[in-house]
Structure 1
């Protein structure tokens, strides 16, 4: 562990960050075919992410872990493995996000999926330094009508467990140019006092960031394509709604072709509030420390800058003030 600073990740997908050793072990015990045929083959498959031809092909990498995480035991083991790995990496706080509806193919309800994740979190609460909160994701399949009912169930489930392990609602998936099609879901969330964040401005245009802000998002997942419209950048500056930057993931998903072309420094210089995150650790073959190395080698950021990025994350984290005060002690 090179960086001894307190590390915070606000944008970490559970099913995209599970250690491959654990996934392959779970797959073998469930007679599920492993991409590449073995653990080594799967690791090679993960390293081949850069050869994906599109975001859709990149998102297909979720099929394997999601296919495994369809029973309580698998969900608990995978979640425990991820939390222990993050704790070992020196993280003091993480908001893990996942879509409960993705794990109901073998009969679990969305609530049972959430309860399995919560069991894992609670099992490790006194064994690990890291503090874990959960974000429940709705799914964007480009056509809002496809899973409106399942998404509405996620909204109500997030509200039911708000403050009991869940801190936010989100929407993830194949972002298109249709953010306002999901307005009824966010309108309902707002009416019941459920805070939410929105994936926008990654695969979709700057317009989606504008719409996410209009819908009332507390944070923007990615948001980097706001650079395509300086009016949207100014909205981010004026509102100080933070963006969750995940550089390696942006490169893997073809948002930018090289790190040097990433707009993080330009956005920060214009006054946008930035946090640094991993997104999908296994699919992007990354960790927070590797993201820090990109920041330093490509943009000239310093260790003091890295500390400030983590302070930004703590400031906009969705946990309560008591937790924030506890974590803030790590910075002193």
Structure 2
């Protein structure tokens, strides 16, 4: 394993080239990608006072992870109609396109889109998909959806969410996973929901190993997932790291999010570089970009500066992302062509 100090640092020109690279992103929360100005405008339209969740500079304001979840839910409470979610999709993908993202997967929750009712969920999903179709045509960014149950809403609600996912699974809605508070309940409590999604042909991921340690990652693997949201705390168990590499499990790593929330003090202490050197499939994503004051361009530049990763590393990361992407092979091949370096 080469230490970053053994690799040559990159100059400003190299960092600029890296920032401008086309990118694939696997881990974004749809509502969590809502620009604060979008939420403020919607709140004003609805005469809802959300001043308590914003800082003076207009950005989202929260103290810690649990408070972040509370602010997240308050912010998303002004999203009421399918049209709201369609407009949000456009705003989200505009930001993605500005940062060179050509392929994105996003976590969608029927809990926020119709309260778990399948008929209502279909209406919200239709509005999102229509906006995504227009964005692919006009902005060149391809989106796919992953339904997520919310862990702190409990296993019974997760079953209703999985039913929504199973009844709308197709070549656009391609995955199922779980987000929310990792410190509530156990992964195995949600096995029924994951089994329902698997039987519907959906591919599986779950958040694990962000706040809890290696045992949480092992519990997640027992659900039969092929990807892990975050997964970085696995780095504390060398045997588990080796197992992840052997399994080919892909980690949806969100370095900026992990540092912003205090999982790691600084990016230099983040294990993404060490995990990659150990043969684990790692990818780079933004999680909830406006909440964590990040973008894909910023993630790339910060990683390049910290670990001295060159363009070849990021090209490899994008290939890894597309190998693990929950899309059909024709879409995969189309996106890979966009991600290849210019000859």
| TM more than 0.5 | yes
Q: 1:82 aligns with which of 82, 92, 97?
A: 92
Give structure 1 regions of 4+ aligned residues with deviation exceeding 4 angstroms: 105-108
- Conservation of the 8 A alpha-carbon contact between 1:66 and 1:103: no
Q: 1:302 to 1:20 in 2, by over 3 A?
A: same
Q: 1:106 to 1:221 in 2, by over 3 A?
A: closer
Q: 1:164 to 1:293 in 2, by over 3 A?
A: same
User: How much does 1:263 deviate?
Assistant: 0.8
- Conservation of the 8 A alpha-carbon contact between 1:23 and 1:78: no
Secondary structure, counterpart of 1:135 in structure 2: strand
User: How much does 1:287 deviate?
Assistant: 0.5
- Conservation of the 8 A alpha-carbon contact between 2:256 and 2:286: yes
- Please name the residue that 2:285 is paired with: 277
Alpha-carbon distance in structure 2 between the residues aligned to 1:267 and 1:81:
33
Secondary structure, counterpart of 2:178 in structure 1: strand
Please tell me the root mean square deviation across aligned C-alpha atoms, in Å: 2.2
- Please name the residue that 2:189 is paired with: 181
Q: 1:61 aligns with which of 71, 74, 84?
A: 71
Q: 1:104 aligns with which of 114, 117, 121?
A: 114
- Conservation of the 8 A alpha-carbon contact between 1:151 and 1:185: yes
**TM-score normalised by L of structure 1:** 0.90
Q: 2:46 aligns with which of 20, 30, 46?
A: 30
Deviation per CA, 1:88-108: give whole Å up to 9, x if none: 222110001121212336998
- Please name the residue that 1:125 is paired with: 136
More displaced, 270-279 or 16-25?
A: 16-25
- Conservation of the 8 A alpha-carbon contact between 1:249 and 1:284: yes
Q: 1:255 to 1:161 in 2, by over 3 A?
A: same
Alpha-carbon distance in structure 1 between the residues aligned to 2:198 and 2:23:
30
Q: 1:24 to 1:268 in 2, by over 3 A?
A: same
Paired residues in the alignment total 322
- Please name the residue that 1:227 is paired with: 235
Alpha-carbon distance in structure 1 between the residues aligned to 2:279 and 2:171:
34
More displaced, 169-178 or 60-69?
A: 60-69
User: How much does 1:157 deviate?
Assistant: 2.2
Alpha-carbon distance in structure 2 between the residues aligned to 1:164 and 1:192:
12
Alpha-carbon distance in structure 2 between the residues aligned to 1:131 and 1:192:
23
Q: Could you list the runs of 5+ residues in structure 1 that have no partner in the other structure?
A: none
Secondary structure, counterpart of 1:199 in structure 2: strand
Deviation per CA, 1:174-216: give whole Å up to 9, x if none: 0126111111222222333322111100012211111111211
Alpha-carbon distance in structure 1 between the residues aligned to 2:116 and 2:154:
24
Alpha-carbon distance in structure 1 between the residues aligned to 2:172 and 2:200:
18
Deviation per CA, 1:153-175: give whole Å up to 9, x if none: 22122223222420100100001
Secondary structure, counterpart of 1:137 in structure 2: strand
- Conservation of the 8 A alpha-carbon contact between 2:171 and 2:327: no
**TM-score normalised by L of structure 2:** 0.87
More displaced, 237-246 or 185-194?
A: 185-194
- Conservation of the 8 A alpha-carbon contact between 1:100 and 1:111: no
- Conservation of the 8 A alpha-carbon contact between 1:296 and 1:302: yes
Q: 1:214 to 1:178 in 2, by over 3 A?
A: same
Q: Could you list the runs of 5+ residues in structure 2 that have no partner in the other structure?
A: 1-15
More displaced, 214-223 or 204-213?
A: 204-213
- Please name the residue that 1:92 is paired with: 102
Secondary structure, counterpart of 1:100 in structure 2: coil
